[in-house]
Amino acid sequence: MEKFDEFDLFLKGMPTGTQEFTYHLGLDFFRKMESSDVSSGDVNVTLSVKCVGDVYKLFFTLEGVIGIPCDRCLDEMEHHVNATYAMSVKYGDEYYEGDDLTVIPESCDTFNVARVINDTVMLTIPIMHTHEEGKCNEEMSRLLDEHSAHGNADDEDDTKCDPRWEALRKLKNNN
Ligand SMILES: [Zn+2]
């Protein structure tokens, strides 16, 4: 995975108090992060870093839109991203990633936030995501509906048509 200098926080050189950073996530960001389902991106990220003692408190605010495939018709749909994420980073002996605290070794001058930002975007995508009712690609929906209607009418038949099921069935019968 490619590194992003833009997303490297120079923690060691950070003055006390709160620092603010802004990022824009376009399609190139999601490509580099290998989030292959994302087909477009326009997300603004604000990151505030507050140094409290030896702990850096990071607070991310994400707002924008990404394009992902609809589960019903497979065409691109808009997914609105509206999320916040908080984490703490601290220097220590070795790398450790906990729920609330990430420890990075003293040898690291920087902490890269690209993965955290990408993960935060991905977590906003519901398991089932579709266009609004009636907004799907009609032709595709019709084809998929016909397929599932057939499957509901006779599940046995449907699994017979699927080569993967056929392979599984053969495996089962051999045992
Ligand atoms: Zn759709």
Q: Which residues surround ligand 1, an ion (CB under 5 A)?
A: 70, 72-73, 131, 136
| 112 and 143 share one domain | no
The Å distance, Cα 156 to ligand 1 centre, comes to: 28
Higher pLDDT pick, 62 / 146: 62
The mean-pLDDT minimum among 41-55, 94-108, 140-154 falls in 140-154
Domain assignment present for residue 117? The answer is: yes
The stretch 78-103 carries a mean pLDDT of 93
- Ligand 1 centroid to Cα of residue 152, in Å, is 21
Tell me whether residue 129 is in a domain: no
Q: What is the pTM of this model?
A: 0.78
- How far the first Cα of the chain sits from its last, in Å, is 43
78: CA distance to ligand 1 center in Å?
10
**Lowest-pLDDT range of 20-24, 65-69, 158-162:** 158-162
Q: Per DSSP, what are the bridge partners of residue 8?
A: 112
**Buried/exposed code over 17-54 (b: 16+ C-beta within 10 A; e: otherwise):** eeeeeebebeeebbeebebeebeebebebebebeeeee
- pLDDT higher than threshold 60 for residue 142: yes
Residue 17 belongs to some domain of the structure: yes
Residues 90 and 148 in one domain: no
- Exposure of 124 in the CB half-sphere (CA atoms within 13 A): 23
> Which of 20-34, 44-58, 91-105 has the lowest average pLDDT?
91-105
The structure tokens listed for 76 are: 């691109």
Do 66 and 106 lie in a common domain? yes
Residue 104 lies in a domain: yes
Same domain, 41 and 88: yes
Distance 74 CA to ligand 1 centre (A): 6
Expressed as residue numbers, the domain containing 148 is 138-174
| Domain tally, the chain | 2
Contacts of 93 (CB under 8 A, 6+ apart): 103, 105, 106
Is the domain of 101 the same as that of 146? no
If asked whether residues 16 and 49 sit together in one domain, one would say yes
